[in-house]
Amino acid sequence: MNNHLDKDDTTSSVSSTWIGTANHGFAVYAVEELRRLFPSLKFSYIVPSEIVQFTIGLPQEEVLQLLHANEPMFLRHLHPVHVEIERTEEVEAEAELAAICSHLEDLSGIHSGAKIAIQARKSEGSNFNYSPSEIKKALDAVLIDQYRAEAVVRDADQIISVFVMADSIYMGISRPTDNLSDWSGGAIRFRKEDGQISRAKFKLLEAEYAFGLDFTQYRHAIDLGAAPGGWTSLLLERGLHVTAIDPGALDSSIIRHKRLTFYRRNAANVKLDDNNYDLLVCDMSWNPKQTGKLLKDLLYALQSGGTIILTVKLMHKKPFQTIKELLRELEPELSLQHAKQLFHNREELTLFLIKN
């Protein structure tokens, strides 16, 4: 087993190496966005259509500055590669774990008292006789004993990422904000609740987290295309008054809620009070142009500065064209703040917009 990537190779003034993750089937679009930002990009797929390794002819901090200023829609997560350990079939699990631990010294910036989270993953087909949790346990022990660091899962100062492949192990250290998501691989997990109406609720929860929103700060929301009520239920839990609109039925668990007004009809047949709402959410399985038209027809009810959270279905796998056409339809009344394919999205994107 050899370390054949020196630490300085990825932090030099010449280039840096990364591992990026997208939703399954959408890595090709993440690569396209990266190519637009970084013409020097060289890449290969670790997991087809999902996880990619790429090298950019810029140092790490310059790459991060550009990514934060122009965050890709489809790159869900990334982390730098500072160490690459070559794997051989003959090495036993205990020895390989020891080798991984020994390379902590090649990761600069670990200091006493720091809160550090270990995030370990493996690719399919990477045969080894230990689990990602065992990697974390072994590294946590070394961090605590030798570095006097604090091993944590959330709210870390730094994240050490370990990615195990069939022939290599990649390690890197980074700040949580530099990974685009502080969840391993960007796979943010929520616990399913008893009586939860639908898993669609997770999409709105993730949007609140990813876009830095706090729904408790809003007063009165419109949920367009609300049935069966997953998004409506979350907003009611946050204390909002919700006006839900859908020709379909809402779940019986919320239908009599005192802060709910429900119009069981098409949005075109609903008249709301002007400038009475500060939040509009919409999660509909419609053609984006149709959704955009419905949304635009309801903007009279939203206050200036009001927030919109909208999922956009990528029905024909032409995401850049779809978003461009939709924004052309919605501007200048609305301004895009953030567009992201979240972990809980499937064939869709989530948009965060503000009414001008």
Residues marked as catalytic: 313
Distance CA 69, CA 270 (A): 40
Read off the tokens for 234. 């979350």
Q: How far is Cα of residue 275 from the mean position of the Cα atoms in its chain?
A: 32
Q: Is the dihedral of CA 322, 325, 328, 331 positive or negative?
A: negative
Question: In this structure, are residues 186 and 180 in contact, taking their beta carbons and an 8 Å threshold?
Answer: yes
333: nearest Cα among 312, 306, 311: 306
Alpha-carbon distances, residue 105 vs 79, 102, 179 (angstroms)? 18, 7, 21
The count of residues in the chain is 356
For Cα atoms 23, 314, 264, give the angle at the middle one, nearest 5 degrees.
115
Strand-pairing partners, residue 302, are 277
